[in-house]
Structure 1
Amino acid sequence: MSSGLSNSRSFGDRVILALVIALSIVMLAPALWVIALSFKDNAELMANPNSVFHPPYIIQNYINIVGTSAVFRWILNSLIVSIGLTVGTLVLSSLAGYGFARLNFPGRDILFVVVLFGLAVPEQAVLVARHQIFSILKFHNTYQGIILPGLSSAFGVFLMTQYFRAIPKELDEAAMLDNASRFRVFWKVLLPLTLPAQATLGIFTFLGAWNDYFWPLISATKKEMFTLTVGMASTQTNFAQSEGIGYLMAQAVFAGAPIFIVYLFFQKYIVTAVSGAAVR
């Protein structure tokens, strides 16, 4: 009986493993296809699209990208924007989440509902008003002009509020009995307990900021202020989709490589954060 049950489990495990491998191949196929195209000559791809399956492979497409004098400035801009937006979002969302979860003030519930409405408002709906405000403030073509709109993270406030609410209030009361100020309770007692939520929010914010194209395209009109996504797009010709496929794919790989490197170094923390977000 036990032998039959064991064989049944073993067969089931093999089926699940086979399905996981098959799904992994399906998910990896587009990325591998893009990488393979990035190492092919554009003229050769135009003459024979199937040439991607056999040599020769070249690195000229990547040399052309690096040869763009502003590309490293674009990478620096993306790093500054992504890190600044991530740090700012974590600070503001943590403070706002603590306020909504622990403080009683007039209009708190109504204000929280207003914040939640922000989840339903698309960015395009406020684009014109935002553009006019930033034009008056002369924030376009500056780092603060690209970073500030993303700091109003309704999702971040909601996530941190729910996480703070899940922490027992007895911890606050015990700390206050020891004459700890409210800020000290927040900084020393509660904030360290929210590190899983902050890791989740920080990862999603950084990835979103790095891949963002819409607002940087509008706010940054000077070449030296382009982020990597906008800068890479600006180097494409009108016929890039048909005449420069290899170069286009090399741009995609080049833009995604920093995120892949970050993942290699912080894989453990990213998996933990994402699984924690899924559980919650």
Structure 2
Amino acid sequence: MKRRATQTWARLGIYAFLICAAAFFLLPLYVMLATSLKSMDEIRLGQLFALPAAPSFDAWRAAWSEACTGVSCEGIRGGFWNSVAITVPSVVLPILLGAINGYALSWWKPRGGEWLFGTLMLGAFIPIQVMIYPLVKLEAAIGIYSSLPGIVVVHIVFAMPIMTLLFRNYYAGLPGELFKAARVDGGGFWRIFVQLVLPMSTPMLIVAAIMQITGVWNDYILGLTFAGRDHLPMTVQLNNVINTTTGERLYNLNMAATMLTSAVPLLVYLISGRWFVRGIAAGAVK
């Protein structure tokens, strides 16, 4: 009886901690959402945590299509489509290349593979800021600086080490007998990869996609440096909206723009979160 009571109190303590942690992390999200739905007259009252008296999406419409980002007042919708154009190839290509690298390094073990893997891991620990200037000079020399291919190449370069690590660890945990049987049946490198390995990689592909989408979509410094004026991502446009405001600072518009900018990674995680947990449990990041 005493043991059962102890377990009950322990469970209540865990629930209390989880509720407090959830409230701590969700409070800023609530403040942003509530503020974005208020008018400026209501915001001036200083009641930060109060619900909107008359909720309105006017600030959201203005943030999307009317807010000024420098000299242009077309909202952040242009930055949204720029972010989509940057994110799609910057997610698909690194995941594909990382899967191939991880597959080769875990099962085929090419000559010099350990040195290659060590070099990639070394690259994962080099700060991005250290590599910006050399990459600027390199891309300028080959003519892709300040362009869409230029920013995509940069994201691929910085994603390759972690993508290779994730896939290598995942594939190394798969039963070796499957691979050996496939080779006995005459399967080559690409046939085994496409017909055997990829169908078993769904949880890890979801993990990699969530990590890459979140990283690329939320990136600011690389987009500002490499994308060029015509391809600025949504995060850069958000910064321009907030910092080019003249006169009264429109907090409801700023919060609405922030919510719109963060909507895509939030939706991706909410939709595929269970796959993310499953991929981690399957050994994707062990």
TM-score (norm 2): 0.85
Question: 2: distance between equivalents of 1:5 and 1:279?
Answer: 36
Q: Aligned-pair distance for 1:31?
A: 1.0
Amino acid at match of 1:252: T
Question: 2: distance between equivalents of 1:277 and 1:242?
Answer: 51
Residue 276 of structure 2 corresponds to 270
Question: 1: distance between equivalents of 2:189 and 2:176?
Answer: 13
Residue 93 of structure 1 corresponds to 98
**What is the DSSP-based 3-state SS (H/G/I as helix, E as strand, rest coil) of the residue aligned with 1:176?**
helix
Q: Aligned-pair distance for 1:41?
A: 3.3
Question: 1: distance between equivalents of 2:272 and 2:108?
Answer: 35
Q: Aligned-pair distance for 1:255?
A: 0.8
Question: How do 1:18-97 and structure 2 match up within 5 A?
Answer: 18-42=16-40, 45=43, 47-50=44-47, 53=50, 55-68=53-66, 69=74, 71-97=76-102
Listed one character per residue, the Cα deviations across residues 59-84 of structure 1 (whole Å, up to 9, x for unaligned) are: 33212112233633322221222221
Listed one character per residue, the Cα deviations across residues 71-124 of structure 1 (whole Å, up to 9, x for unaligned) are: 333222212222211111111001111222223433222222111101110111
Q: Aligned-pair distance for 1:275?
A: 4.9
Which residue, out of 219, 227, 235, partners 2:226?
219
Structure 2: unaligned runs, 5 residues or longer: 67-73
2:38 and 2:252 in contact (8 A); partners too: yes
Does 1:148 find its partner at 2:145? no
Q: Do the aligned partners of residues 209 and 279 (structure 1) sit closer, same or farther apart at CA in structure 2, a change above 3 Å counting?
A: closer
Question: 1: distance between equivalents of 2:95 and 2:253?
Answer: 37
2:173 and 2:283 in contact (8 A); partners too: no
Amino acid at match of 1:12: A
Superposition RMSD in Å: 2.6
Question: 1: distance between equivalents of 2:238 and 2:27?
Answer: 23
Question: 2: distance between equivalents of 1:22 and 1:272?
Answer: 25
Question: 2: distance between equivalents of 1:196 and 1:53?
Answer: 41
Query: Bigger CA drift: 128-137 or 259-268?
Result: 259-268
Listed one character per residue, the Cα deviations across residues 185-240 of structure 1 (whole Å, up to 9, x for unaligned) are: 22222232333222211110111111111111112232x41211112222233567
Residue 229 of structure 1 corresponds to 235
Q: Aligned-pair distance for 1:18?
A: 2.1
Question: 2: distance between equivalents of 1:83 and 1:271?
Answer: 23
Q: Aligned-pair distance for 1:126?
A: 1.1
Q: Do the aligned partners of residues 214 and 276 (structure 1) sit closer, same or farther apart at CA in structure 2, a change above 3 Å counting?
A: farther
Listed one character per residue, the Cα deviations across residues 155-180 of structure 1 (whole Å, up to 9, x for unaligned) are: 11111112222223332221121122
Structure 1: unaligned runs, 5 residues or longer: none
Amino acid at match of 2:149: Q
Amino acid at match of 1:53: A
Q: Aligned-pair distance for 1:278?
A: 7.8
Residue 189 of structure 1 corresponds to 196
Question: 1: distance between equivalents of 2:33 and 2:55?
Answer: 11
TM-score (norm 1): 0.87
1:90 and 1:202 in contact (8 A); partners too: yes
Q: Do the aligned partners of residues 182 and 275 (structure 1) sit closer, same or farther apart at CA in structure 2, a change above 3 Å counting?
A: closer
